[in-house]
């Protein structure tokens, strides 16, 4: 099969479009014919070696942990899926990914894809939607009537967070660049802030929740906009407990953990028209390098997706 692999860690140039062995499903596993693979920041972080201390990756390694496709065959013990099922999901980050014509995925990491969306748009959903869902509802416990500030609201995680928060009945404020402000309002933001013009901490106060997808200085400036007892949830690392205590607030981390039940809920919201995945860039698998360059620019609206079929 064709796949995009890395044989060493480094920049986008280490991505190689080449022949690779087709995998075989084992017990509890599904062989998926990949139609599309989403591109996420974790992909280039793995490529650059940021996670090699935490995960002992075998090289060469196939990247990409957002998949949409069709079940080609199943291993022993698989009960949820059959050949021909249209699925999507977040494969195990410690194994070969979806930048390939085929991938083996644990049955427990997959769900039936949204009926109303094609494979490209379905592949844009799992990692970023699960990150947003788990950050808002599992960690922050966001409720109707609460106020939330979402940083980088036009990005992959941010755009799902805006839509989920609005669906939940929260008051949503999002930061973005000027060209994304009107679009953010169209997907549910009640207020928008051009971070190039306005310091958000000058105009935002008494937030119940801040969703930080940026870190660094943005995170440092976010503590003061929370009300006492509010919570800052970061998707880019554990915030400082010391800082949280200083401001009388709480903090937490939002990561994407495979959860087919939540993916089913998200697929239902998509099919009901309440949530819409945004794909800004579609590229063939052979142009994974370009997709990484776009992702690393940090100025994307929605997601980039590699179209395999």
The string of pLDDT tens digits covering residues 114-132 is 999 999 999 999 999 999 9
> Which pair of structure tokens corresponds to residue 72?
């080609």
The number of residues in the chain equals 309
Give the list of residues 6+ apart from residue 248 with CB closer than 8 angstroms, or none. 228, 229
pLDDT of residue 297: 85
Average of per-residue pLDDT across 3-11: 98
Q: 257, 235 in Cβ contact below 8 A?
A: no
Query: Same domain for 132 and 247?
Result: yes
pLDDT tier at 97, thresholds 50, 70, 90: very high
**Residue 205 counted as domain residue:** yes
Q: What are the pLDDT digits (tens) for 142-164?
A: 999 999 999 999 999 999 999 99
**Residue 239 counted as domain residue:** yes
Residue of 153, 145, 146 lying closest to 235 (CA atoms): 153
> Which pair of structure tokens corresponds to residue 152?
């980088």
**Residue 265 counted as domain residue:** no
Q: What are the pLDDT digits (tens) for 250-275?
A: 999 999 999 999 999 999 999 999 99
Rounded Cα distance between 286 and 196, Å, is 35
pLDDT of residue 302: 86
> Which pair of structure tokens corresponds to residue 25?
């499903």
Asked if the model's pLDDT at residue 29 lies above 80, the reply is yes
Average of per-residue pLDDT across 227-234: 98
First to last CA, the chain: 13
Return the bridge partners of 145, or none. Answer: none
**Secondary structure (H, E, C), the chain:** CEEEEECCCCCHHHEEEEECCCCCCCCCEEEEEEEEEEECHHHHHHHCCCCCCCCCCCCCEECCCCEEEEEEEECCCCCCCCCCCEEEECCCCCCCCCCECEEEEEHHHEEECCCCCCHHHHHCCHHHHHHHHHHHHHHCCCCCCCEEEECCCCCHHHHHHHHHHHHHCCEEEEEECHHHHHHHHHCCCCEEEECCCCCHHHHCCCEEEEEECCCHHHHHHHHHHEEEEEEEEECCCCCCHHHHHHHCCEEEECCCCCCHHHHHHHHHHHHCCCCCCCEEEEEEHHHHHHHHHHHHHCCCCCEEEEECC
Write the CATH number for 239.
Answer: 3.40.50.720
Return the residue matching tokens 């106060």: 205
> Pick from 253, 268, 292: which residue ends a domain?
253
Percentage of residues in the chain with pLDDT exceeding 70? 100
Query: Same domain for 77 and 89?
Result: yes
Query: Same domain for 170 and 238?
Result: yes
**Residue 262 counted as domain residue:** no
**Residue 272 counted as domain residue:** no
pLDDT tier at 283, thresholds 50, 70, 90: very high
Query: Same domain for 45 and 110?
Result: yes
pLDDT tier at 301, thresholds 50, 70, 90: confident
pLDDT of residue 285: 98
The region, left, alpha or beta by phi > 0 then psi within -120 to 50, assigned to residue 81 is beta
pLDDT of residue 155: 93
**Residue 264 counted as domain residue:** no
Q: 175, 150 in Cβ contact below 8 A?
A: yes
Least confident of 168-172, 257-261, 300-304: 300-304
Query: Same domain for 209 and 299?
Result: no
Query: Same domain for 182 and 73?
Result: no
Write the CATH number for 116.
Answer: 3.90.180.10
Query: Same domain for 133 and 249?
Result: yes
**Residue 271 counted as domain residue:** no
Query: Same domain for 145 and 94?
Result: no
Rounded Cα distance between 289 and 287, Å, is 5
pLDDT of residue 39: 97
Query: Same domain for 31 and 45?
Result: yes
Question: Within 10 Å of residue 115's Cβ, how many Cβ atoms?
Answer: 11
Structural domain count of the chain = 2
Q: Domain range spanning residue 151? A: 128-253
Query: Same domain for 239 and 302?
Result: no
Query: Same domain for 247 and 293?
Result: no
State the number of CA atoms in the 13 A half-sphere of 118 facing the CB: 10
Query: Same domain for 141 and 232?
Result: yes
Report residue 239: phi and psi, to 5°: -70, 165
Asked if the model's pLDDT at residue 77 lies above 90, the reply is yes
**Residue 150 counted as domain residue:** yes
pLDDT of residue 298: 74
Per the prediction, the chain carries an average pLDDT of 97
Asked if the model's pLDDT at residue 300 lies above 80, the reply is no
């Amino acid at each position: 099969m064709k796949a995009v692999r890395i044989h060493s860690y480094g920049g986008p140039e280490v991505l190689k479009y080449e022949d690779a062995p087709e995998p075989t499903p084992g017990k509890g596993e599904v062989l998926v014919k990949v139609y599309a693979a989403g591109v996420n920041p974790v992909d280039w972080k793995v490529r650059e070696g940021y996670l090699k201390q935490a995960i002992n990756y075998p090289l060469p390694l196939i990247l990409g942990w957002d998949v949409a496709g069709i079940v080609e065959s199943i291993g022993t013990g698989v009960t949820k899926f059959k050949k021909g099922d249209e699925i999507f999901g977040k494969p195990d980050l410690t194994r070969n990914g979806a930048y390939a014509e085929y991938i083996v995925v644990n049955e427990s990491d997959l769900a039936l894809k949204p009926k109303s969306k094609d494979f490209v748009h379905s592949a844009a959903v799992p990692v970023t939607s699960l990150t947003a869902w788990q950050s808002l509802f599992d960690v922050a416990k966001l409720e109707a009537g609460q106020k939330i500030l979402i940083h980088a609201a036009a990005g992959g995680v941010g755009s799902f967070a805006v839509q989920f928060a609005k669906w939940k009945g929260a008051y949503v404020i999002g930061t973005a660049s000027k060209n994304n402000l009107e679009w953010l309002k169209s997907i549910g933001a009640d207020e928008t802030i051009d971070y190039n013009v306005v310091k958000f901490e000058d105009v935002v106060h008494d937030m119940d929740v801040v969703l930080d997808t940026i870190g660094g200085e943005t995170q440092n400036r976010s503590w003061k906009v929370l009300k006492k007892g509010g919570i800052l949830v970061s998707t880019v690392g554990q915030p400082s407990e010391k800082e949280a205590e200083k401001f009388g607030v709480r903090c937490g981390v939002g990561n994407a953990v495979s959860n087919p039940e939540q993916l089913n809920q998200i697929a239902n919201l998509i099919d009901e028209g309440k949530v819409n995945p945004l794909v800004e860039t579609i590229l063939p698998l052979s142009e994974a390098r370009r997709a990484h360059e776009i992702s690393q620019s940090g100025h994307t609206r929605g997601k980039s997706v590699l179209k395999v079929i």
